[in-house]
Amino acid sequence: MSLEEDIKQQKKFANEFEKAAVNILYTSNWLYNINAGHLKKHDITPEQYNVLRILRGSFPKPLMLGEVSCRMLDKSSNSTRLVEKLRQKGWVKREVCENSRRQVDIMITDKGLAILTKIDNDENVLLDAVKSISKQEAEELNRILDKLRK
């Protein structure tokens, strides 16, 4: 289905650049909603999942909250609140740094690693959503998106 049909647009876009921008935003939200629905059954939000993946990537080295924040996909997320929710679930731990008492180190727990493994082993609906394009098309899309962000 075309973008115009999906958003029920009657009027044409001013130009292809405007259409591309709206298409990227619309498609991003479409993928986000697919991902959120999939993660909901694991009692985790996409933002919490992103934090856990960041911490798994640095494991066993802990990260400061600021480092987690700058690596997040959604820079407007409240990383303090996200980490606290993950801590309450037992998926991360926070410790005051030995070298600097003002610094708090965050580390994924075994329980956090286990939930990521469970999600990894589950059906990957996000990948399934983009498999309608070929590997070559995916490479070209990645190249174009990387170029756009430069």
Domain that holds residue 64: 45-121
Average pLDDT over residues 92-97: 84
Instruction: Please tell me the total count of domains within the chain.
Output: 1
pLDDT tier at 86 (50, 70, 90 boundaries)?
very high
Examine residue 88 and state whether it is found in any structural domain, yes or no.
yes
* CATH code, domain carrying 113: 1.10.10.10
Which of 22-26, 70-74, 95-99, 119-123 is least confident? 95-99
pLDDT tier at 69 (50, 70, 90 boundaries)?
confident
Examine residue 16 and state whether it is found in any structural domain, yes or no.
no
Query: Which residues, other chains included, contact 101 with Cβ-Cβ below 8 Å and sequence gap of 6+?
Result: none
Examine residue 77 and state whether it is found in any structural domain, yes or no.
yes
Are the CB atoms for 110 and 117 separated by under 8 Å? no
Query: CA angle 142-42-60, nearest 5°?
Result: 70
Q: Letter for the amino acid at 57?
A: G
Examine residue 115 and state whether it is found in any structural domain, yes or no.
yes
Examine residue 97 and state whether it is found in any structural domain, yes or no.
yes
**Dihedral angle computed from the Cα positions of residues 138, 141, 143 and 148, in that order, rounded to the nearest 10 degrees:** -160
Examine residue 54 and state whether it is found in any structural domain, yes or no.
yes
pLDDT tier at 103 (50, 70, 90 boundaries)?
confident
